[in-house]
Structure 1
Amino acid sequence: MRKPGMIAALLAGLLLAGCGADSSDQANSAEAPARAPQGAAAGGEAFDQKAGAGAEAAPAEAKDTAAEAPNLQIDQRSIIYTGSITIRVEDVNASAAKVTGIATGSGGFVGGDERHSGSGSDTATIKLRIPADKFTSVVDQLAGLGDEENRGINTEDVTEQVVDLDARIEVQKARLESGKRLLAQAKSLEDLVMLEREVASRESDLASLEGKKRRLSDLTALSTITVVLLDPSATPVDDDDPAGFLAGLSNGWNALVASLGVLLTVLGALLPWIIALGVPAWAIIHFLRRHRRRNTPVVVPAAAEAPTSTN
């Protein structure tokens, strides 16, 4: 007869405990938004916990998903192409115009153009920015302009860097949005100032990541080709050859000639002033010296008295 009463008492106790736990959970959940800014004001811990942990959950899953099965096909990889080609041509200027036409015809543009002439030989160094999918065809077209003497092609696979940057950008965007939500819940001026500073820091980090992504996108979308054009009498410069005695002597002579040219230029610029000011100054000084000599009295030394002899 006691067992049913005991069972009823236990059930009543469990129901009361459950109701108390539910009310406690509701109270804690109601107080959580109000406590978040206060904790953030105490050093940014609530901001990191709410804006960091809560916002990183979804992007972390996206990051894991992107890292699990990235597209590693050749046509989907991010590759930076750079190349250089040296061509000997009959007419450097005419060939340079053809190089520009090849670049614009492929959807690219000229990023730099440096030419040297008048010293017995003509040379031109032209830097092209070409769409990556036209890189090989453009190099082949350039080689057909004359006699190819040197070619160098380099590639750099930056697929992993691009995937990593994409994931970090998504995480930073989610944390920034969570920070803005916390900023809207700020209850005091101190919380507002702290959260605004944190949001500004998140925005700066996001802008930095997006800048790196744009830089990589530019390098992968547009390849760089350096074209060196030489006329038949031009001598290509080989940076790998060690500089010997003759090379040093030639460089020293060129430096001396350049220095003398600068000195003569300065002297030529000063010579008219020297003539215009120096000649009158010399005439005035010469006149003053002559005038001083004429007006200076001549001092005649007194004759020495003969000694008197005493007998």
Structure 2
Amino acid sequence: MDGRSGRRRAARAGLAAGLVALLLGGCGAGASDEGNSGAADGAAVPAEAPARGDARAGAAPEVGGPAADQAKGGGAPDLRVDQRAIIYTGTMQVRVEDVDFAAGQAVSIATAAGGFVGGDQRQSRDTDTRAELQLRVPAEKFTRVVDQLAALGKQDSREVRTEDVTEETVDLDARIASQRARVESARKLLARATTISDLVTLEGELARREADLASLEAKKRRLADLTALSTVTVAFVRADAPPAAKSEAGFLSGLRDGWHALLASLGVLLTVLGALLPWLVVLGVPLGLLFAGLRRRRRRAGPPAGPQPPVSAPQPVPAARSAP
């Protein structure tokens, strides 16, 4: 009995120590030190390490693998161009004789390359017929698809942008591996919990760590989608469409813009006056006649009688003095 009670006390003490280390590691861990927190959580269960050497051996290479070493080194590894994670984005405009036919050809080119249409906007007018397509194609076929689209007509413009996300991908791999180790350590402690308070605390911590892991994995899937499929936005216009106006700067350009703004303002002012003129005629004529009648009536009545000023008494005339 003493041996069993001693083992139970030792197990409870180990569980308590692991719970404290788990909570401290969860509170102090952030996006930059998740690997250190995962290592601390792994050290919180020393009792199971000898018994389950396979789990320990499976977690150690995942946390301290090449991805983690590359992330700690402060940059992406020295890889070849075909091994790097690069996002390609292209924008182009092509003049064609038949806009709808060229748009259909562009869709066929994208699907034949293993891609799909991400967006399709078209407008048909007499003077301006335009089709703008957003195509998602595999990254390794990006250049070939762009060249095929340019060959459908006369290319007006082309812009290709690249973004190297190799370092971000390596960092995400290291953080995901570390977060998986932290989730596994929380599950081990949850399996050894014996009290309700420990269960509630560990379940909350495990849920938080699983949510962080799901967020990191979603970011990794988003990066993988952007690097695997490149985006090409192509606009088809008619061959006789007027060229796009180029923005100019300078005194003459400002004077021309100011003159156009003045003419536009005068047009708006005349439009407002034209809209108000019927109301002025309908309301202004009766009001003018009414005011004229009142004024004429006041003139006939004469000025209003006001209070008469008081009459002052005549001053006495001094008597004449007799000569001596």
Residues 108 and 131, structure 1, Cα contact 8 Å, conserved in 2: no
The match for 1:31 is: 12
What amino acid sits opposite 1:143 in the alignment?
A
The alignment status of 1:234 with 2:215, answered yes or no, reads no
Which residue of 149, 159, 165 corresponds with 1:158? 165
Taking the aligned partners of 1:46 and 1:279, their CA distance within structure 2 comes to 79
| CA distance 1:72–1:299, change in 2 (3 Å) | closer
Post-superposition offset of 1:80: 1.8
The alignment status of 1:78 with 2:85, answered yes or no, reads yes
Q: Matched residue of 1:168: which SS? A: helix
Residues 111 and 129, structure 1, Cα contact 8 Å, conserved in 2: no
The match for 1:12 is: none
The match for 2:61 is: 61
Q: Which ranges of structure 2 fall in alignment gaps of 5 or more residues? A: 28-36, 46-54, 71-76, 307-324
The match for 2:138 is: 131
Residues 122 and 234, structure 1, Cα contact 8 Å, conserved in 2: no
| CA distance 1:126–1:294, change in 2 (3 Å) | same
What amino acid sits opposite 2:16 in the alignment?
R
Residues 116 and 136, structure 2, Cα contact 8 Å, conserved in 1: yes
Taking the aligned partners of 1:233 and 1:126, their CA distance within structure 2 comes to 18
Supply the RMSD in Å over aligned alpha carbons.
Answer: 4.6
Taking the aligned partners of 1:110 and 1:289, their CA distance within structure 2 comes to 70
The match for 1:51 is: 41
Post-superposition offset of 1:142: 0.6
Taking the aligned partners of 2:20 and 2:183, their CA distance within structure 1 comes to 18
Taking the aligned partners of 1:292 and 1:45, their CA distance within structure 2 comes to 92
Q: Matched residue of 1:145: which SS? A: coil
The alignment status of 1:298 with 2:288, answered yes or no, reads no
Residues 110 and 116, structure 2, Cα contact 8 Å, conserved in 1: yes
| CA distance 1:87–1:165, change in 2 (3 Å) | same
Q: Which moved more, 1:108-117 or 1:128-137?
A: 108-117
| CA distance 1:214–1:82, change in 2 (3 Å) | same
Q: Matched residue of 1:127: which SS? A: strand
Taking the aligned partners of 1:193 and 1:253, their CA distance within structure 2 comes to 73
Count of equivalent residues: 273
What amino acid sits opposite 1:209 in the alignment?
L
Which residue of 182, 186, 203 corresponds with 1:179? 186
Q: Matched residue of 1:226: which SS? A: strand
Larger helix percent: 1
Taking the aligned partners of 1:281 and 1:218, their CA distance within structure 2 comes to 68
The match for 2:221 is: 214
The match for 2:322 is: none
The match for 2:109 is: 102
Post-superposition offset of 1:216: 0.5
Post-superposition offset of 1:109: 0.8
Q: Which moved more, 1:290-299 or 1:32-41?
A: 32-41
The match for 1:282 is: 284
Q: Matched residue of 2:152: which SS? A: coil
Taking the aligned partners of 1:186 and 1:254, their CA distance within structure 2 comes to 81
Taking the aligned partners of 1:173 and 1:166, their CA distance within structure 2 comes to 11
Q: Which ranges of structure 1 fall in alignment gaps of 5 or more residues? A: 1-21, 303-311
Residues 103 and 110, structure 1, Cα contact 8 Å, conserved in 2: no
Post-superposition offset of 1:172: 0.9
Identity of matched residues, %: 44
What amino acid sits opposite 2:61 in the alignment?
E
What amino acid sits opposite 1:109 in the alignment?
V
Q: Matched residue of 1:81: which SS? A: strand
What amino acid sits opposite 2:11 in the alignment?
A
Q: Deviations over 1:57-102 (max 9, x none)?
A: 6444124445489996766653322223343333445434433443
The match for 1:224 is: 231
| CA distance 1:207–1:46, change in 2 (3 Å) | closer
Residues 15 and 189, structure 2, Cα contact 8 Å, conserved in 1: no
Output the TM-score relative to the length of structure 2.
0.62
Taking the aligned partners of 2:228 and 2:165, their CA distance within structure 1 comes to 12
The match for 1:243 is: 249
Output the TM-score relative to the length of structure 1.
0.64
Residues 89 and 162, structure 2, Cα contact 8 Å, conserved in 1: yes
